[in-house]
């Protein structure tokens, strides 16, 4: 009997072109891969990945089919557990749950830490699988992880899977990926493969939305990331401060699970602006940041910077925006149209009606709802 030391060594993270400036992922993994070169006799025929998420955690179940084209052998397989960013101690598993089976029988796995430090942890869950001559074996791995976080719009929360099957014998005949979103609400999703948006079919229903993608006769190689964030209807981004690549924005999918609520959603990613009942609202912090930028431009030309400040009175609930010679006060549900308070994932933000505020300050703007974009210009604000 031949003995091979193998590791299922997929290390999942956001690819270089998809990585945000500030991100953290815990307990992520991927496809089996032998550590040294292409395996001479064992082929991975197929893999079926089913990822289910409620928007807080995600459960991944992967079914692999391996075929041994040679004589009897024994392989040590290791399923990776990789974390980076703001993660737990390496001595504690980042998986919320982990289990593995061979041909329907649950088997034990031993966790081996191979790297730790500087916010990065790599470990492997090891088990030994024996193959008879020409034998086919079915391996299942199931684990649960918290969603990853990032700062880039469209990837505020994300899950990941890494295909690294190119070193098994030959090509993988079929890889099926299915992502099930079960949490109710309005969502944005952004599937990315190897740093570029990838099309997936979408089926929506009252209890879930299902994304699907199939690859056939391929090397099973590449990073897959799936941004998933609750959002507000008719969200918009500012073209003048757009960090998301335009190709990503064009391929971002907005979909709903469940019924449309009467109230605005909570615990969402807060966009720069959104439209409700025909009125476009802009985030006060975002407006303040843009005014700061306009002030910097003015300083280059006339060596003075208009005063810009934003304060909130906790007792009265009034937000005060000082914008050069203008001072504006806002309170939720006061005025017509009234400012709107959105309860976000990481705090609350007041949104004010863009048109009257822009008119008061002398700003100009254009809306591009088809592409979910708006343009905000300085106009005559702070002209002397």
State pLDDT tens for residues 100-135.
999 999 999 988 888 887 778 888 888 888 999 999
Helix (H) or strand (E) run with residue 360 in it? helix 354-361
292 in the same domain as 218: no
Quick one: pLDDT at residue 166? 77
- Residue 98 falls within a domain, yes or no? yes
276 in the same domain as 215: no
Tokens of 189: 């999703």
Task: Give yes or no for residue 39 having a pLDDT over 90.
Answer: no
Mean pLDDT, to the nearest integer, of 208-225? 94
For the chain, the residue count is 384
Alpha helix locations (H) across 124-219? Answer: none
Task: Give yes or no for residue 11 having a pLDDT over 60.
Answer: no
CATH code of the domain covering residue 166:
2.60.40.3680
Tokens of 121: 């942890």
Mean pLDDT, to the nearest integer, of 211-228? 94
Choose the weakest-confidence range: 76-90, 181-195, 262-276, 361-375: 76-90
Alpha-carbon span 230 to 150, nearest angstrom: 14
- Answer with the residue of higher pLDDT: 346 or 43: 43
DSSP string, 201-241: EEEE-SS-EEEEEEEEEE--EEEEEEEEEE--TTEEEEGGG
Mean pLDDT, to the nearest integer, of 202-226? 94
Task: Give yes or no for residue 369 having a pLDDT over 80.
Answer: yes
189 in the same domain as 90: yes
- Residue 382 falls within a domain, yes or no? no
- Residue 259 falls within a domain, yes or no? no
290 in the same domain as 172: no
- Residue 249 falls within a domain, yes or no? no
Domain that holds residue 95: 2-230
272 in the same domain as 215: no
Number of domains into which the chain is organized: 2
205 in the same domain as 105: yes
Q: Is the peptide bond before 337 cis (omega within 30 degrees of 0)?
A: yes
- Answer with the residue of higher pLDDT: 73 or 367: 367
Helix (H) or strand (E) run with residue 293 in it? helix 284-302
| pLDDT classification of 223: cutoffs 50, 70, 90 | confident
Which of 176, 204, 230 is the last residue in one of the domains?
230
- Residue 115 falls within a domain, yes or no? yes
Residue percentage of the chain with pLDDT more than 90: 56
Separation in Å, CA 65 to CA 1, 175, 281: 21, 11, 52
330 in the same domain as 201: no
- Residue 206 falls within a domain, yes or no? yes
Task: Give yes or no for residue 23 having a pLDDT over 80.
Answer: no
Alpha-carbon span 295 to 289, nearest angstrom: 10
36 in the same domain as 143: yes
- Residue 238 falls within a domain, yes or no? no
Any residues with CB less than 8 A from the CB of 54 and at least 6 apart, and which? 181, 182, 183
- Residue 260 falls within a domain, yes or no? no
- Answer with the residue of higher pLDDT: 140 or 157: 140
How deeply is 337 buried, as exposed, middle or buried, from its count of CB atoms within 10 A (0-12, 13-18, 19+)? middle
270 in the same domain as 179: no
189 in the same domain as 84: yes
Quick one: pLDDT at residue 280? 98
Task: Give yes or no for residue 80 having a pLDDT over 90.
Answer: no
286 in the same domain as 351: yes
Task: Give yes or no for residue 179 having a pLDDT over 90.
Answer: yes
- Pairing type for strands 157-164 and 172-181 reads unpaired
Alpha-carbon span 188 to 106, nearest angstrom: 36
Quick one: pLDDT at residue 27? 59
- Answer with the residue of higher pLDDT: 201 or 81: 201
Task: Give yes or no for residue 338 having a pLDDT over 70.
Answer: yes
Which of 205, 230, 255 is the last residue in one of the domains?
230
Cα atoms in the Cβ-side hemisphere of radius 13 Å centred on 83: 24
Quick one: pLDDT at residue 38? 57
Quick one: pLDDT at residue 384? 64
133 in the same domain as 36: yes
Measured in whole angstroms, the distance separating CA 220 from the mean position of its chain's CA atoms is 22
Which of 230, 249, 278 is the last residue in one of the domains?
230
| pLDDT classification of 5: cutoffs 50, 70, 90 | very low
Choose the weakest-confidence range: 24-28, 317-321, 348-352: 24-28
């Amino acid at each position: 009997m031949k003995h091979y030391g193998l590791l299922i060594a997929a290390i999942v993270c956001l690819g270089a072109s998809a990585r945000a400036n500030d991100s953290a992922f815990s307990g992520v993994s991927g496809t089996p891969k032998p550590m040294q070169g292409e395996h001479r006799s064992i082929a991975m025929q197929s893999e079926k990945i089913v990822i289910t998420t409620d928007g807080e955690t995600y459960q991944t179940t992967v079914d692999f089919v391996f075929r041994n084209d040679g004589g009897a052998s024994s392989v040590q397989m290791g399923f990776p557990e990789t974390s980076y960013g703001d993660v737990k101690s390496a001595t504690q598993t980042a998986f919320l749950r982990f289990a593995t089976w061979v041909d329907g029988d649950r088997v034990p796995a031993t966790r081996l830490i191979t790297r730790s430090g500087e916010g990065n942890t790599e470990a492997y869950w090891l088990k030994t699988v024996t193959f008879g001559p020409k034998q086919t074996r079915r391996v299942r791995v199931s684990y649960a992880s918290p969603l990853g976080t990032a700062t880039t719009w469209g990837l505020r929360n994300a899950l990941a899977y890494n295909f690294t099957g190119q070193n098994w014998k030959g090509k993988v005949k079929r890889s099926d990926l299915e992502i099930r979103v079960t949490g109710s609400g309005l969502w944005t999703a952004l599937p990315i493969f190897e740093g570029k948006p990838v099309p997936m079919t979408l089926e929506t229903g009252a209890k879930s939305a299902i994304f699907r993608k199939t690859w056939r006769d391929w090397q099973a190689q590449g990073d897959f990331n799936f941004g998933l964030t609750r959002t507000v209807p008719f969200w918009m981004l500012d073209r003048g401060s757009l960090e998301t690549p335009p190709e990503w924005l064009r391929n971002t999918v907005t979909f709903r699970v469940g019924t449309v609520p009467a109230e605005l959603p909570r615990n969402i990613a807060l966009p720069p602006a959104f439209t409700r009942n025909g009125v476009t609202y802009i985030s006060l912090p975002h407006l303040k940041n843009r005014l700061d930028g306009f002030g910097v431009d003015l300083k280059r030309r006339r060596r003075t910077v208009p005063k810009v400040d934003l304060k909130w009175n906790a007792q009265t609930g009034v937000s005060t925006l000082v914008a050069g010679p203008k001072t504006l006060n806002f309170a939720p549900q006061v005025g017509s149209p009234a400012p709107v308070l959105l309860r976000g994932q990481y705090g609350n933000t007041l949104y004010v009606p863009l048109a009257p505020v822009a008119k008061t300050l002398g700003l100009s703007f254009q809306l591009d709802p088809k592409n979910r974009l708006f343009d905000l210009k300085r106009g005559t604000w702070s002209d002397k």
